[in-house]
Amino acid sequence: MDDFVVAGTAYSSRLLVGTGKYRDFDETREAVDASGARIVTVAIRRTNLGQNPGEPNLLDVLPPSRYTILPNTAGCYTLEDAVRTLRLARELLEGHTLVKLEVLGDPRTLYPNMAETLKAAEILIKEGFQVMAYTSDDPVAARQLEEMGCVAVMPLASLIGSGMGILNPWNLQIIIDNANVPVIVDAGVGTASDAAIAMELGCDGVLMNTAIAAARDPVLMASAMKKAVEAGREAYLAGRMEKRLYSASASSPTSGLIAGGAKKTA
């Protein structure tokens, strides 16, 4: 079995999904089910003080007994906010330590602030968290996160929520080649082929939210993403043929043609 192993735990899916931007909790649950994801990321926010006592809770829809809930620090711009958020998350999830760290640096692009991310990761790791870190596609930053003890590095393929696909496969390639922890493309995937390309590059997994939630039919797109990640992984393991521009090689026998042979070249 080609399991995806992160922080010593094996998962049957290499697709990790977010839970934001769905129409309602029913759609969230259906899309997550269709994606086959085992690791599902959630945000941590203040309770609505005026809320209805009977208001459904995301964790009732996606019970931690069924999924590995990966709390994230989406929206945090300082290491203090990120660390506090994840301490709360650990309490909320009864001691769960696997977390997704992101510290943003710019509200327009949601680009990560790597200096703050590195500092936050160091604090969290000291406190016993298993940190999966959202990072720019800078191979040096990715290596520093790994050296510090992050259990996975998660470079962007393009900006969060942009659906622009994989803009710099070469940087991802360098990160993958250097890494001894799982590399998960996080952010930027727009459609199934993007996910397949990420996996063909040798990424260990792909994390996405908007590509599924903002599709016209999110549940169908979740199913497409499941297949794309599986197909990309198999293609990576199978090892693609070499690219041979201008040296075409026929797949069928070149002799025995009814017209009596190959076309003569000048």
Q: Which stretch binds another protein (CB under 8 A): 36-44, 189-197, 217-225, 250-258?
A: 36-44
d(CA 191, CA 204) in angstroms, rounded, equals 18
Eight-state DSSP code of residue 11: E
CB 89, min distance to another protein, A: 7
245: its two tokens: 């521009």
Query: 209 by DSSP, 3-state: which?
Result: coil
Catalytic-labelled residue, pool 100, 119, 126, 243: 100
- Mask: binding to another protein, 90-119, rule CB under 8 A, as x and -? xxxx--------------------------
Asked if 100 is an active-site residue, the reply is yes
Identity of the residue, 37 or 139, whose beta carbon is nearer to another protein in the bound complex: 37
Q: Which stretch binds another protein (CB under 8 A): 39-47, 114-122, 168-176, 177-185?
A: 39-47
User: Under the criterion CB under 8 A, does residue 89 sit at the interface with another protein?
Assistant: yes
# of chain residues touching another protein (CB under 8 A): 40
221: its two tokens: 């797109």
Q: Map the footprint of another protein across residues 116-155, applying CB under 8 A.
A: none
Binding residue (CB under 8 A) for another protein from 53, 107, 128, 260: 53
- Residue 176 CB contacts under 8 Å (≥ 6 apart), including other chains: 183, 201, 202, 203
d(CA 104, CA 111) in angstroms, rounded, equals 6
Amino acid at 161: G
Cβ–Cβ under 8 Å, residues 172 and 201: yes
Angle between helix 169-178 and 192-201 (nearest 10) = 40
CB 57, min distance to another protein, A: 5
| Contacts with another protein, residue ranges (CB under 8 A) | 17-22, 28, 41-47, 49, 53, 57-60, 69, 71-72, 74-75, 84-85, 87-93, 160-161, 207-210
